[in-house]
Amino acid sequence: MGESKAHKATVNRIVKRWGGEYNPEKGADVKTPSGTVEVETESTVSQALAQLQGYRGPVYIAGTNKKAVTEALQATENTTIGVMDNQGNIIKPSTRG
């Protein structure tokens, strides 16, 4: 399945704002100097938890829209995983050291 326009736009905004680079291969979507970001739509948020396992330092799920952000907030409750919106704003800070 190809990457959606919303996914690509969100990735580009995060890279522009936080630096780092996009990795379309396996693993997290964006690695920045300040953390690791997995960009998800509301239907793929649940996959992000497994994809972010094993990463050191702050990790985030970035939702491509409000619904995805809401899903991410629910999925990351009581976890060290943070949440960003599609502009790269941190909605829930990551507490992973």
pLDDT tens-digit series, residues 27-84: 799 999 999 999 999 999 999 999 998 899 999 999 999 999 999 999 999 999 999 9
Using CA atoms, how far apart are residues 85 and 91, in angstroms rounded to an integer? 7
Does residue 24 lie within any of the structural domains?
A: yes
Question: Is 30 among the domain residues?
Answer: yes
Residue 32 forms part of a structural domain: yes
Nearest 5°: CA angle at 73, between 62 and 17? 25
13 within a domain of the structure (yes/no):
yes
97 within domain boundaries:
no
- Round to whole Å and give the CA distance between 86 and 1: 21
CA angle 55, 96, 9 (to 5 degrees): 65
Q: How many domains does the chain have?
A: 1
Q: Output the pLDDT for position 2.
A: 62
CA pair distance 83, 32, nearest whole angstrom: 15
| Domain range enclosing 75 | 5-92
pTM > 0.85: yes or no: yes
Taking 60 as the threshold, does the pLDDT of residue 1 lie above it?
Answer: no
